[in-house]
Amino acid sequence: MRIQAVILDLDGLMVDSEPLSYRAWNAVLAEHGAALDDEVYRTQVIGLHDLDSGRLVRKLTGVEADERALVDAHWERLVNMLPAELEPMPGLHALLQALQARGLPLGLASNSRSPYVQRALEVLGLLECFRCIRTVDDVQHGKPAPDVYLAVARGLQARPERCLALEDSATGVQAALAAGMRTVVVDPQGLVPASLEGTHGRFASLEEVHAALDRLLG
């Protein structure tokens, strides 16, 4: 079945934002005399819905602040970092251009908040590339629920089973698979368990995805 549309995640896939997010978390936690271990962040926090991440960070660090306040402070610090520090993942622009050249509408499905997603795309000059953008703010349940992917498919007027989803986290992969989409793992850090079944391929970079487009879209 030929693909009608391509839907991408943002953090960790299109942009190398996870180191920035980690630093933002630790800047917030430092105000409470706490810190978050890098390995714990990479293996347990990445990909979570923001309030889920706030609850987990509280549990891991023992900070007694309200999780909503922690999450709000984290997003504020992260957004302020973007203009000076946000960088696209290698091969991102070339991949998007190749997809657009094929006439495929592009969507973005993110577990991040809308103001952050909007600002990140503005910084990268990519806001106009995406016909439909949906975030955790637009759905009842964030990833790993399929809601955000299904919302993007509706916005693109594409059947879910004819959408190609690109994801870099286990949480995101689960969401795309639950939506019934052809799901590709782009996992340069090896964070997505090999036991996750049903994916359409695993790649170490967006350049590798670009090279395999004929197979992935056919």
- Domain(s) labelled CATH 1.10.150 in the chain stretch across 18-85
57/163 Cα distance (integer angstroms): 34
d(CA 6, CA 177): 14
pTM of the model: 0.89
pLDDT of residue 67: 87
Question: In this predicted structure, what is the pLDDT of residue 53?
Answer: 87
Q: Give me the percent of the chain exceeding a pLDDT of 90.
A: 80
| Structure confidence at residue 118 (pLDDT) | 96
The CATH number for 5-16+87-217, chosen from 3.40.50.1000, 3.20.20.30, 3.40.50.740, 3.30.420.310, is 3.40.50.1000
Q: Which residue has the tokens 């629920």?
A: 145
Q: What is the pLDDT of residue 44?
A: 87
Q: Structure tokens of 128?
A: 């106009």
Report how far residue 142's alpha carbon sits from residue 149's, in angstroms, rounded to the nearest whole number.
10
pLDDT at residue 49, as a whole number: 74
| 205, 90 contact by CB (below 8 A) | yes
Residue numbers in the chain where pLDDT is lower than 70: none
β partners of residue 134: 109
- What CATH fold (topology level) applies to the domain 18-85? DNA polymerase; domain 1 (1.10.150)
Q: Distance between CA 45 and CA 136 in Å, rounded? A: 16
Query: Could you tell me where in the chain the CATH 3.40.50.1000 domains are found?
Result: 5-16+87-217
